[in-house]
Every structure is written in C-alpha cells, then in structure tokens.
Chain A
Amino acid sequence: AQSVAQPEDQVNVAEGNPLTVKCTYSVSGNPYLFWYVQYPNRGLQFLLKYITGDNLVKGSYGFEAEFNKSQTSFHLKKPSALVSDSALYFCAVPGGGNKLTFGTGTQLKVEL
C-alpha cells in the first residue's frame, strides 16, 4: 500500500531562518507526491507536487520540495521562514481508487 510518514509532530524555527518539514514515502512504482498546507479552521491548500523530472520542485508562497529517491524522502523547504508560514503541513501520496493518503501532519511554528 502507498503511504507517507511525517516523523515530526512539530517544527519550530526562527523567522528568517531556513525551514525543513520532513516526509518519507513508501510506494510501488514511480511516486506522485504532494504537499498541502492548512491554516487554523480552514481547508487544505495545495502547495506543490512531484510527478517526474527535476528533483527540486517549486511551489506556492516560496516553498520548494526536494525529491530523493535513494532516501525515499520528499522534504518541504523554504530558504527564509516567515511568521505567516506557521500552519499545519501535510504530505500525501495517491493510493488505490485515485484517492490521496495523507501523513499525520507537521505543525510548523515560526517565531520572531
């Protein structure tokens, strides 16, 4: 079965510092991988996806993600964090029946 894991429940980073939110995957075949962000009391917003091609994927709000096949990882990154980036981040992978399976989420807190 296709699955993703987010090993950190929470990540704290100072504003202006680079941030990384981790995701590892377990899939058969070529992986499609997604990142979503959720602000409090809101739906999920699509950030970026990896299908094939360049290992560095650029997305919305200055975020990017690095696909690493040997480490089966798809970490979300941003060179300089903002307080407004504080939110819940989900990694996801398509499963059977064309549905998405989500990780448990990582709460990002960016502090001044």
Chain B
Amino acid sequence: DGGITQSPKYLFRKEGQNVTLSCEQNLNHDAMYWYRQDPGQGLRLIYYSQIVNDFQKGDIAEGYSVSREKKESFPLTVTSAQKNPTAFYLCASRSWAAGNTIYFGEGSWLTVV
C-alpha cells in the first residue's frame, strides 16, 4: 500500500532522554513535514524538507532535530532540550506534481514519564 508510515504509535520518554520518531513514505513525494499538535492549539510546524539533504526550521524548531538523507525518510528527534514534549506528532508529505495538497501519516503520541 502507498502511504506515510509513522512509528511508533505510542512512545514514552524519561526526563533527559532523546527519542526519535520515524516517518517513511513510499509515495515518491519530494517534500516532507513534521507538525506538533496540542489540544486546542491546532497544528504547529516543527521542520520541513523540500529536497533530500536540505531542511528548514518551522515555527517551533527549538528542542527538535531532523535529517533527510533519503527521499523516503524524515526522522524527527525530540531532544532533552525540548521542555514540554508531550504531544501528538504528525508527519506529512507532498508531491510537487500534485500541487499543494499535503498528506498525513497516522501520527505518534509522545509522553514524558
């Protein structure tokens, strides 16, 4: 099946730990995105990448890092510098050929314990 796969669905992090959320797409999309969703605050953009080996900060990049070594993959690392990481994280991708429509994965819940 074609789509965007996020893993794990649920992740627990201890204070001071870094954790990495996986995002893989087999849609041959060029651009990939990471959004954070908190209750009542909608979606906020963390990082995005328009091509391989290039990425830009979004609105709330502090405490996060990404890499884009392959077109299909855009992992997000939540570092210990992110003071309030508990949230729902959404990965998305877009093909230039398909216009501006962005498609989303199923999301990953991160909880600090």
List residues of chain A with CB under 8 Å of any chain B CB.
Answer: 9, 32, 34, 36, 41-46, 49, 51, 90, 94, 97-105
B48 touching A90, Cβ below 8 Å: no
Interface residues on B, range: 20 to 34
- In contact, B107 and A99 (Cβ under 8 angstroms): no
Bound CA span A99–B101, Å = 10
Q: Which of B31, B99, B106 contacts A43 (CB 8 A)?
A: B106
Q: Does B40 contact A (CB under 8 A)?
A: yes
Interface centre among B43, B56, B58, B92 (most CB of A within 10 A): B43
Judge whether A98 and B103 touch: CB under 8 Å: no
Within 8 A of A (CB), among B57-113: 58, 90, 92, 94, 99-107, 109
Since A46-B102, A90-B43 are in contact, a sample of 13 more A-B pairs with Cβ atoms closer than 8 Å, ordered by chain A residue number, is A41-B107, A41-B109, A43-B6, A43-B90, A43-B105, A43-B107, A44-B92, A49-B101, A51-B99, A94-B100, A98-B31, A101-B45, A104-B42
